Amino acid sequence: MPYNSAPVSDEVIAHKKPITLQTGRALRDNMLSLNDDVIALIAAIVAGDAGAARIRINALQRVTAGDQIRSRRDASQSDSATDEVAEVTGHSFGFMQAGSIRAYFEHSGTGSFAQVRRVRNSVDTVIGEYANSGSLVARSVDVDVLPGDLVYIYNSDGGAGSNSVTLQNCRFATAGEHLYPGTAVPLEGNVYE
């Protein structure tokens, strides 16, 4: 349907007059049909002007675990130790949105475990724990998140002696929703219009 740039008149949306399909489309497609007061209010909210209503964090798009990568750290990260803990954090993400996220990673090591952990209100919780083996193993786990959560992918030998650990291809993915980070992290696939 072609774009109609004509303003929607007061007569078309008069009191007790039904809104037709054509009028509804004109209202949807033509921001010029909004009066100057509404436009100024929207601009004040977006700019965060004093006295204007605030956009609530729960107004952000919810996330759903899926296969579209939104943040990654693919480089291989390793650590080894002879008399202390060998450990590495592959990737971490601070969330502003609620929902669920899928964490992907590959891990190997000569001792202990790889984990996906979530920090919420200063409480560090293990979401998934996987025994290390001598060769790389791919894993994924879905994690429920709330605004303020930090999720991280971690590998450790547990301090068991002469061991090494590796993480690589650490990624966070959604079902297509954008991610809005609570902390500075690299993103991909978000489209800003």
Q: Give the CATH number of the domain where residue 156 resides.
A: 2.60.120.260
Q: Is residue 141 classed as helix, strand or coil in its secondary structure?
A: strand
> Residue with structure tokens 């724990």?
129
Q: Is the dihedral of CA 93, 113, 169, 64 positive or negative?
A: negative
39, 79: one domain: no
Same domain for 110 and 15, yes or no, is no
pLDDT, tens digit (0-9, with 9 covering 90-100), for 12-26: 667 777 777 777 777
Q: How confident is the model at residue 1 (pLDDT cuts 50, 70, 90)?
A: very low
- Report yes or no: 146 and 157 within 8 Å, Cβ to Cβ: no
Task: Tell whether the model's pLDDT for residue 125 goes beyond 80.
Answer: yes
Q: Is the pLDDT of residue 99 over 90?
A: yes
Does residue 3 share a domain with residue 77?
no
Are 22 and 83 in the same domain? no
How much is the pTM?
Answer: 0.69
d(CA 96, CA 191): 17
pLDDT in tens, 127-153: 999 998 889 999 999 999 988 889 999
In a shared domain, residues 125 and 147: yes
69 and 143: one domain?
Answer: yes
Weakest mean pLDDT among 54-63, 145-154, 170-179? 54-63
Q: Are 108 and 38 found together in one domain? A: no
- Give dist(CA 145, CA 64) in Å, integer: 10
Tokens of 51: 């006295």
H or E stretch including 77?
strand 77-81
Q: Is the pLDDT of residue 175 over 80?
A: yes
Expressed as residue numbers, the domain containing 112 is: 65-174
Number of domains into which the chain is organized: 2
Please report which confidence band the pLDDT of residue 193 belongs to, taking 50, 70 and 90 as the band edges: very low
SS3 118: strand
Residue 108: which of 71, 146, 75, 78 has the closest Cα?
78
Q: Based on the fold, state whether residues 41 and 70 are members of the same structural domain.
A: no
Task: Examine the domain organization and report whether 86 and 40 are in the same domain.
Answer: no
Residue finishing a domain among 16, 33, 55: 55
Same domain, 136 and 109: yes
Q: Which long-range contacts (CB under 8 A, 24 or more apart) does 1-10 make?
A: 1/25, 3/29, 3/30, 4/29, 4/30, 5/30, 5/32, 6/30, 7/32, 7/33, 8/33
- What are the structure tokens assigned to 92, written together? 């971490």
**Amino acid residing at 88:** V
Least confident span in 81-90, 103-112, 114-123 = 81-90
